[in-house]
Amino acid sequence: MSSAIDVAVIGVGLVGSAVLKQLATVPSLSALKVVALQNSRKTLLAAPGQHLALDHWQAQLESGSSPALSLEQLVSELQAIQAKNRRHIAVVDNTSNDTVAGFYPSFLRAGFSVVTPNKKAFSGSVDLFSAMEEAKESDTRPLVYQESTVGAGLPVISTLKDLVATGDRIQKIEGVLSGTMSYIFNEFSPASGSTAKFSEIVSVARQNGYTEPHPGDDLSGSDVARKLTILSRLIPNLAYALPKGYESVDTQSLTPAGLANESNADVYVQRLPEFDAEFDEMRAQAQAKNCVLRYVGLIDVEKKVIKAGLEAYPADHPFATSLGGSDNILSFTTERYPRPLLVQGAGAGADVTAMGVVADLVRVAERRG
């Protein structure tokens, strides 16, 4: 890749570290030069005209950096670097931070592109969404790429954008969009049948790091609702259908009513077996119809229905037979694809999420390098 840009990375945790590893070790990415690293405590900036070496970036960030800059200060420093280097800057936000997400319009107005796996900005209020859309129309025409907000490294957003851009008419989008929910129901309700207890599967998923620290955050369905919001805003006649973002999505929570207000994660998991009978009954009803249970998101464009919840599917349905582990699967039904177009594969994990981020950086470089 010959097109060169500079990159400022905010967030160097699991995903951020994987992004930096790919940038440091893949020869074809050598034109993507990192000029800034920032976490919640520290900021490391390259001198104007230079870039950061990535072989020992952790030590550099801890020892040779300044306290974390405000986002306003970071913009000023990046503008100085851009003026000297005369190269386009892409800001990569690897956090899940609301404040950073809310600052995207300012990054864009400053002339920087934004690449991110952070779902917050694209699934939040319609006011923030509108502000980003307006900022993208500024004179510098900054770019926004967000592939990894929905399917990590899976080509979900790019597929939808291509369908819309080429004039296809989206009729329905349906799929298993949460890696955590996928794992839980692949174990709890496989096509072959099961007697495993819901609470035990959730406990194992938590122990293995598949859930958020509080499993109720996953079982609330909010992650799926956020992803549905992101996708719906890429469909022209649904772009402004959710004024409060993901909060406007009709979302079924799987947290039992008796645990709805339990904020202590350990207590939540300890008490979840009290409600296994409820889940056993739902599974039994599905099995009696030769069906499996899957937690899915649905966008029905013609009916303007956007919802997330537990559904039963025949045991020979792709959602029953094609999934394994924490895989995601998404089905696009369109005018051109009456037999749905399927995208499936690993929808979570630092390495595949980082792949989606870095691929988006390549797209920015191709257009702005």
User: Three-state DSSP class for 367?
Assistant: helix
HSE-CB at 233 with a 13 A cutoff on CA atoms is: 30
What are φ and ψ of residue 36, in 5° steps?
-155, 140
Please tell me whether 11 is known to bind a ligand.
yes
Q: Please report how the helices 276-288 and 198-207 are oriented relative to each other, as an axis angle in degrees rounded to 10.
A: 110
Q: Are 253 and 220 in contact (CB under 8 A)?
A: yes
Is 13 annotated to bind a ligand? Reply is yes
Cα gap 227→296, rounded to integer Å = 11
Active site residue: 33, 120, 136, 227, which one? 227
Which of 191, 104, 185 lies closest to 149, judged by CA? Answer: 104
37 close to 57: Cβ distance less than 8 angstroms: yes
Instruction: Tell whether 12 is in a known binding site.
Output: yes
Largest CA distance in the chain: 68
Q: Is 14 annotated as a binding residue?
A: yes
- How many CB atoms are located within 10 Å of the residue 267 CB? 11
The answer to whether 15 is annotated as binding is yes
278 a known binding residue? no
Work out the angle at residue 12's Cα, subtended by the Cα atoms of residues 9 and 16, and round it to the nearest 5 degrees: 75
SS3 292: strand
274 assigned ligand-binding residue = no
Question: Does the annotation mark 136 as catalytic?
Answer: no
Which amino acids are annotated catalytic? 227
Binding residues for NADP(+): 11-16
Binding residues for L-homoserine: 212
Binding residues: 11-16, 95, 119, 212
